[in-house]
Amino acid sequence: MSENKEPGMAYNMSKLHKVMAVLSFIFFVTTVWVFLDDYIRPWKAIQVEAQQIKRKHTDDALKAATKELDGKKLSDLDSSLAKGQEIVSGRKAEIEKAEKELKVVLTKLKAQTIKNGVLNGDVSAANFQYETAQGAHDHKTAEKKLEELTVLKKEFILGKDNSKALQAEEKIIRAKLADLNKEVISTEKEIKEFTMKVTLLKAAKATTDINPIFAIRNMPFIDYLDPTIKIQQIVINNVTDDRYFRQVPKVDRCITCHVFIDQPGYEKEKQPFRTHPKLDLMVGMESKHPMKVTGCTSCHGGEGQRVNDFASVAHMPDGEKQEKEWIQKYGWKEPHHVASPMFKLSQTEAGCVKCHADVQLVKGATVLNEGRMAIEKYGCYACHKISGWGENRRKPGPSLLKIAGKVDKEWFKSWVWEPRSFNKHSKMPAFFRQSNNSKPEFIRLNMAEVNAIAEYVYDKSKPYVANEKFHPGNAENGKKIISQVGCLGCHGVDGLEEQSDKVKAYAGPWLTGLGSKVQPDWLVSWLKKPSHYQEDTIMPSMRLSDTEANDIATYLLSLRNKSFEGLTFAKLDTKARDELLAEYNSTFDTYASAVSKVAKMGDREKTLDLGKRSIGKYGCYSCHNLEGFDGYEGIGPNLTKEGSKPITQFGFGLQHQIPAQRDAWITAHLQRPSRWDEGIDKVFKDLNKMPNFYMSEAEAKKITVALLGQVSDVVPLNGIKRFTAGEALYNEAMKVAGKYNCMGCHQIDGLRGDILKAYADDINQGPPRLVNEGHRVQTNWLYHFFGNVEPIRPWLQIRMPSFNLSLEEKNKLVAGFQQGAQQGTFEEPEMTVAWEPGEKEGAVKLWNSYNCVSCHSIGFTKDTPLAPNLHLASKRLRPSWIKLWLKNPQGILPGTVMPSFFGDDGNAPIDTTVFGGDAPKQINALTKYVIELGGKTTTK
The residues that touch another protein, with contacts defined as CB under 8 A, are 4, 13-14, 17-18, 20-21, 23-25, 27-28, 30-32, 34-35, 38, 58, 61, 103-104, 106-107, 110-111, 114, 117-118, 120-122, 124-128, 131-132, 197, 200-201, 203-204, 207, 213, 216-217, 221, 224-226, 230-231, 233, 235, 251, 253, 285
CB-based contacts of 573, cutoff 8 Å, min separation 6: 444, 447, 448, 451
Supply φ then ψ for residue 112, to 5 degrees. Answer: -65, -40
Question: Closer to another protein at the Cβ: 121 or 794?
Answer: 121
Residue 630 Cβ vs another protein, minimum distance, rounded to whole Å: 49
Closest C-alpha to 434, from 696, 704, 611, 676? 676
Amino acid identity, position 272: P
- Which residue, 172 or 407, has its beta carbon nearer to another protein? 172
With respect to another protein, which residue has the nearer C-beta, 118 or 570?
118
Residue 810 identity (one-letter amino acid): K
Distance between CA 690 and CA 676 in Å, rounded? 11
Closer by beta carbon to another protein, 148 or else 727: 148
Q: 727 CB contacts (<8 Å, ≥6 apart)?
A: 819, 820
Smaller CB distance to another protein: residue 14 or 89?
A: 14
Closest distance between another protein and the C-beta of residue 725, in Å?
A: 24
Task: Give me the least distance between CB of 93 and another protein, in Å please.
Answer: 21
From the CB of 22, what's the least distance to another protein, in Å? 8
The nearest distance, CB 38 to another protein, in angstroms, is 8
Smallest separation, CB 722 to another protein (Å): 19
**Least CB distance from residue 189 to another protein, whole Å?**
8
Calpha distance 27→33 (Å, rounded): 10
Do the beta carbons of residue 869 and residue 856 sit within 8 Å? Answer: yes
Closest CB to another protein among residues 13, 570: 13
- Output 54 or 613, the one with its CB closest to another protein: 54
Q: Choose between 35 and 591: whose C-beta lies nearer to another protein.
A: 35
Contact 702, 378 (CB under 8 A): no
Q: Which is nearer to another protein, 291 or 805 (CB)?
A: 291
Q: Report the first-to-last Cα separation within the chain, whole angstroms.
A: 130
Residue among 82 and 213 whose Cβ is closer to another protein: 213
Contact (Cβ atoms closer than 8 angstroms) between residue 547 and residue 473: yes
Q: Which residue type does 826 have?
A: F
DSSP-based three-state secondary structure for 239 = strand
The minimum distance between CB 140 and another protein, in angstroms, equals 13
Write down the least CB distance from residue 247 to another protein, Å. Answer: 12
Least gap, CB of 19 to another protein (angstroms): 8
How is 402-456 classified by DSSP, letter by letter? TGGGTB-HHHHHHHHH-GGGT-TT--SPB-SS-TTS-SHHHHHHHHHHHHHHHHH
CA–CA dist 61, 911 (Å, integer): 47
Q: Give the nearest distance from C-beta 766 to another protein in angstroms.
A: 44
Instruction: Print burial letters for 66-100: b (CB count within 10 Å at least 16), e (below 16).
Output: eeeeeeeeeeebeebbeebeeebeeeeeebeebee
CA atoms within 13 A on the CB side of 712: 13
For residue 272, say if its preceding peptide bond is cis, omega within 30 degrees of 0. yes
Taking the complex as a whole, the smallest distance from the CB of residue 58 to another protein amounts, in Å, to 7
Q: How far is the CB of 118 from another protein (least distance, A)?
A: 4
119 or 873: CB nearest another protein: 119
The CA radius of gyration of the chain, in Å to the nearest whole number, is: 41
Residues 462, 466, 470, 474, CA torsion sign? negative
- Report, in Å, the least distance between residue 115 CB and another protein: 9
Dist CA 875 CA 869 (whole Å): 11
Distance CA 749, CA 103 (A): 71
Cβ distance to another protein smaller for residue 211 or 939: 211
Burial class (CB in 10 A: 0-12, 13-18, 19+), 848: exposed
Distance, C-alpha 896 to centroid of its chain:
27
Which is nearer to another protein, 151 or 285 (by Cβ)?
Answer: 285
Distances (CA, A) of 673 to 186, 342, 687, 764: 81, 25, 11, 44
Helix (H) or strand (E) holding 242: strand 234-243
Beta carbon nearer to another protein, 224 or 245: 224
The smaller minimum CB distance to another protein, of residues 228 and 764, is found at: 228
Beta pairing class for 289-290 and 282-283: parallel
Q: Largest Cα–Cα distance in the chain?
A: 135
Least distance from C-beta 236 to another protein, angstroms?
12
Range 267-273 contact pairs with CB under 8 angstroms and sequence separation of 24 or more? 269/53, 272/46, 273/49, 273/50, 273/53
Least CB distance from residue 246 to another protein, whole Å? 9
Closer residue to another protein, CB minimum distance, 286 or 762: 286
- Looking only at the bridges linking them, the beta strands covering 234-243 and 246-252 are antiparallel
